[in-house]
A = this chain, B = another copy of it.
């Protein structure tokens, strides 16, 4: 199989990640931090080390404000439901995934929040001016998708963050498709809240993710439960990370996340350039095929979205899988407004998502397959 669905789940895991995970599964079967014995303490040390690594990698300045989640969606939900109150106004964009849109639409439909969704005029990315125009006195939260999971298009979260600095609101970024692909410096970019997936660009296993925030942020816990601390407190402890981490932590996944970050942290520039060049190459080759329409520009997330004339994206992806054993994704990618924005809400888009470990041969075979499909 040629695996080009890395934006869904990264298909390549480094040996270091696999070995770390396997070691945890085999030799670290104890509840980290819950008991005082050697193995529990060792687990707690691994958790702390991973928390420190995540904090340093995204530079939030606060180790204890890294919350381990099971996936990116969970982090987005914890934050959205935990910071928004009755009467707040929220600004977001048409680039967002349903993991941002559905919580917001739910809160809007209950009359808790009002919502402004920006459809950028330049058809590419949200501008600072558009954010500025959307601001209201009661704006509490601005949520921006860093890199689109549909097209790979990038919002300039650094400029937006700099503009929002000093304002009485929170700036939240969905880093599902950017973490591990481009540098995210929360302090420099003035990002208050960031949610990331472990199993995509960060090379960790499924079940890993993190919600990362700074001292300006207070998140009310949606779920409550055992933390191994303050047993007699009938409410959730009011300190981080315990406030937002309920129940047994997933040690193998958390260890894999630290190891995945170790894998990318020193080669981020290389990975960024490689994927930019790979997407550039693929876009050039696919553009040359009649019937193919491209919806992406070269990008460091490795995403290239396209359509084939008179063929639904679901069918196109299915043919690539069935006839050529090439794994891509068709459909709407849980981002409904993006398709309305692009005018692809009828047939969706075929999304190719490349990892730095794919080869030009993989792309060559994909292009050949698309050519074959288009030639009939």
Binding site for B on A (CB under 8 A): 1, 3, 5, 8-13, 18, 21-22, 25-26, 29-31, 34-40, 70-74, 76-77, 81, 97-103, 105-106, 109, 197, 199, 205-207, 222-228, 231-232, 234-236, 246-253, 314, 317-318, 320-321, 325-336, 339, 345
Inter-chain contacts of A199 with B (CB < 8 A): 29, 248
Contact B317 A37 (CB under 8 A): yes
Inter-chain contacts of A222 with B (CB < 8 A): 77, 81, 222-223
The listed residue (B30, B101, B228, B235) touching A102 by CB distance below 8 A is B235
Closest Cβ–Cβ distance, residue A217 to chain B (whole Å): 18
Q: A37-B329, A102-B235, A231-B332 are in contact. List 5 more A-B contacts (CB 8 A).
A: A8-B31, A30-B327, A38-B327, A106-B235, A250-B253
Which residue on chain B has the smallest CB distance to residue A333?
B231
Contact B103 A224 (CB under 8 A): yes
Contact B40 A327 (CB under 8 A): yes
Inter-chain contacts of A99 with B (CB < 8 A): 224-226, 246-247
Inter-chain contacts of A35 with B (CB < 8 A): 5, 8, 317, 327-330
Contact A29 B13 (CB under 8 A): yes
The listed residue (B39, B77, B231, B326) touching A3 by CB distance below 8 A is B39
Give 5 nearest A-B pairs by CB, closest first: A73-B247, A99-B225, A102-B224, A207-B250, A231-B332
Interchain Cβ contacts under 8 Å between A and B, 14 examples: A5-B37, A8-B31, A9-B29, A35-B317, A71-B250, A98-B231, A99-B224, A99-B225, A102-B236, A103-B225, A206-B251, A225-B334, A231-B333, A232-B332
Which residue on chain B has the smallest CB distance to residue A17?
B25
The listed residue (B8, B12, B246, B252) touching A206 by CB distance below 8 A is B252
Contact B40 A5 (CB under 8 A): yes
Contact B36 A70 (CB under 8 A): no
Closest Cβ–Cβ distance, residue A187 to chain B (whole Å): 27
Inter-chain contacts of A326 with B (CB < 8 A): 37
The listed residue (B9, B103, B223, B336) touching A31 by CB distance below 8 A is B9
Closest Cβ–Cβ distance, residue A245 to chain B (whole Å): 10
Contact A34 B8 (CB under 8 A): yes
Closest Cβ–Cβ distance, residue A199 to chain B (whole Å): 6
Which residue on chain B has the smallest CB distance to residue A74?
B247
Contact A226 B70 (CB under 8 A): no
